[in-house]
A and B are shown apart, each in its own frame.
Chain A
Amino acid sequence: MSEDRPSSACLQAHARRYAGAGDGPVLRLLLILITWLFLSIAVLLPLCVVFVEAFARGSDVFLSALVSRETLQALSLTLTVTALVVPANMIFGLSAAWALTKFEFPGKPVLLSLIDLPFAVSPVIAGYVLVLVFGSSGWLGPVLSELGVKVLFSTPGIVLATIFVTFPMVARPLIALMEDQGREEEETALSLGAGGLRTFLTVTLPNVRWALFYGGLLCAARSFGEFGAVSVVSGHIRGLTNTMPLHVEALYNDNRVAAAFAVASLLASFSLFTLILKFVLERKLPDDVREAERVR
């Protein structure tokens, strides 16, 4: 949860208030140092390496790696998958959160824990589950292949795998927020004569819109970067079913390190952009997002 940022005028009072929380100044400094050190080694350094390595062989290599046919295909596949996964999960997340927080029904706790399942299960396992279901000897595979539908080693499989991995990302913050907001606003709207659709559009949706957008953003970031589950179902067909992360791996395995890092830097840039967007969102809409953050 984000605290109000103190203005310089009240910094002293602020510091005094927090120093009083039971920790001496030495311990405080130590903890801050450890955090910085850890973040530098684990996050900042690798991130810098990506960009340094990407330009290690000059900008020509960097650019040609980016505009190669295979990279453009991977980029377009990744964008397609993200464009399908994010709206799907926003709709799913919203309806799941709506059902779980506004109604009472048997089996609710089970459903609630099921939503968290993708966070607990390794993405690779999720991928293999899809192979078991849609593979040529799987449950649905033979039926679907007779109908001419190809799920594995093509876009539908990649989309399904990504949906599985990302679906808690919209649902979870929404459930927490809507749980916190309760049902009384909807009940009031109904009592004032509004219909279900009007209540949803004018009361429920505006109340959760930033949390929904926020969840969508996290979902997009993960869709772009997902490796494990997608790796299992994509089949690694170059120029056809490789997403960006898979393409990075392929290039790396071919010993085209600079090209691999060039593509990786594109992915990293996207992540940084997401981070900035998240930050701007939090600054611009302090109340709503803080509320969403508080209950997460």
Chain B
Amino acid sequence: MKLELENVTRRFGPRSVVDHVSLEIASGQLVGILGPSGSGKTTLLRLIAGLESAYEGRVLFDGLDVSELPLRSRGVGLVFQQYALFRHMRVFENIAFGLRARSGKERLSGIEIRRRVSELIHLVQLEGLEDRFPRQLSGGQKQRVALARALAVEPRLLLLDEPFGALDAMVRRDLRRWLRSLHERTGRTTIFVTHDQEEALELADRVIVMNAGRVEQDADPDRIYDDPASSFVFEFIGEASRLPVQIRDGLVWFRDRLLTSPRVEAPDGPAVLHLRPEHVRWTEGEGSIDVSVIAGRRIGPHRRLGLEIPGGWGRLEMDTDAATPMRIGDQFRVEITGGRVYAPSKSRPLQ
């Protein structure tokens, strides 16, 4: 199902929690809405579901305005962070709930309901747990019951609010992969909300980064990481450090060093250079910057070093081979091989 939002706005009192958001999501996409807490991402999801009504703007499902349509008629599947399983019902009855709620011609026989629920239990790999109560399940199992229950009514749209927020790291990683493959099999349009950038980049086809009720960037995960649209996105996605620089004739100067690699959008004057650890490299050459090591921590195969530029000029981070011996206080030189200076209109530092 194709989803469109036109200028959707939601206010709580004078504050716009969702501020003129327009989106178009094609059928079958797996979209992640990413943002810090308070960015309006959950409210946006609730607006799409019909749990909240918009103050302004329209929500369209396959071109039809559903803004006035109540939750029960929208045909969306909901999965909450705490799963919201019906606590007094067994797994089977939880999944069957939506099928039993049907009326009139759509009503299914008991045998048919049994068959459908069995299929779903197989799909979410919960065979043998049909007679358990929610309190007898682990977090990951609850999550899958919640998904099966939502899928039972064949929703036009699947909405997941922080679907992995309450799980521990291992289960979270497994479930992410499993959800990804489930999406590939069912092809249902799916939108999930998360504050975890790694989760959004790994799981989604398309990531919508939100900040203060607005869409900051809407792109595929590669673009989001390699080409952040604003300083906010730059800092929210991945590690980032900042250096005070001067722009002269469109060139970036750090003190008396000319930096040729960064992309510049800012006019002449003082500015901020945003860098990722991979934009800093050990060197002996010209135009380099003196640094001393002030911290080191292990990140996967690398060692991430915290570097200080003597004289209080700023701090950087860079990755080195974990085998390279390095001690706090070691001094050497680095060069800048990337980074970005944003135009003032796109400079909204992360709070």
Contacts and interface: CB of A to CB of B under 8 A. Distances in A.
Contacts of B155: 191
A207 to B, nearest CB: 6
B323 to A, nearest CB: 46
Contacts of A239: none
Interface string A268-296: 00000000000000000001000000000
Contact of A191 (B77, B88, B135): B77
Interface string A177-219: 0000010110111111111001000110011000000000000
Contacts of A194: 72, 97-98, 101
Contacts, number: 62
B88 to A, nearest CB: 5
B149 interface: yes
Interface residues of A, number: 18
Contacts of B122: none
Contact of B86 (A193, A203, A287): A203
Which of the listed residues B84, B86, B97, B135 has the most CB atoms from chain A within 10 Å of its own CB? B84
Nearest to A210: B88
Contact of B71 (A182, A187, A198, A202): A187
A187 B84 contact: yes
A193 B101 contact: yes
Given A184-B80, A184-B82, A198-B101, A191 B49 contact: yes
B108 to A, nearest CB: 12
A206 B80 CA distance: 20
A193 B51 contact: no
Given A187-B51, A187-B78, A188-B80, A193 B98 contact: yes
A191 B76 contact: yes
B84 A192 contact: no
Given A187-B71, A287-B135, A192 B82 contact: no
A24 to B, nearest CB: 37
Given A190-B71, A287-B135, A185 B84 contact: yes
B102 interface: yes
Interface in B323-347: none
Contact of B87 (A189, A192, A198, A207): A207
Nearest to B46: A187
B162 to A, nearest CB: 12
A191 B82 contact: no
B86 A192 contact: no
Interface in B61-76: 70-72, 74, 76
A185 B98 contact: no
B153 interface: yes
Contacts of B82: 182, 184
B84 A184 contact: yes
A190 B102 CA distance: 12
B80 A191 contact: no
A182 B51 CA distance: 14
Contacts of B86: 185, 188-189, 202-203, 207
Interface string A107-131: 0000000000000000000000000
Contacts of A198: 101
Contact of A192 (B88, B135, B149): B149
Given A185-B86, A203-B86, A192 B98 contact: yes
Interface in B19-76: 49, 51, 70-72, 74, 76
A246 to B, nearest CB: 42
A211 B173 CA distance: 39
A193 B149 CA distance: 12
B102 to A, nearest CB: 6
Interface string B84-104: 111110000000011001100
A203 B80 CA distance: 16
A193 B215 CA distance: 31
B101 A191 contact: no
Nearest to B101: A194
B78 A188 contact: yes
Contacts of A190: 70-72
Interface of A: 182, 184-185, 187-195, 198, 202-203, 206-207, 287
16 contacts: A185-B85, A187-B51, A187-B71, A187-B78, A187-B80, A188-B78, A188-B80, A189-B86, A189-B97, A190-B71, A191-B49, A191-B78, A191-B150, A194-B97, A195-B72, A207-B87
Given A184-B82, A191-B71, A191-B74, 18 more contacts: A182-B82, A182-B84, A184-B84, A185-B84, A187-B78, A188-B78, A188-B80, A188-B84, A188-B86, A189-B101, A191-B77, A191-B150, A192-B150, A192-B152, A193-B98, A194-B97, A202-B97, A206-B88
Which 8 A-B pairs rank lowest in CB-CB distance, beginning with the nearest?
Answer: A192-B98, A184-B84, A194-B101, A191-B78, A206-B88, A190-B72, A193-B101, A190-B71
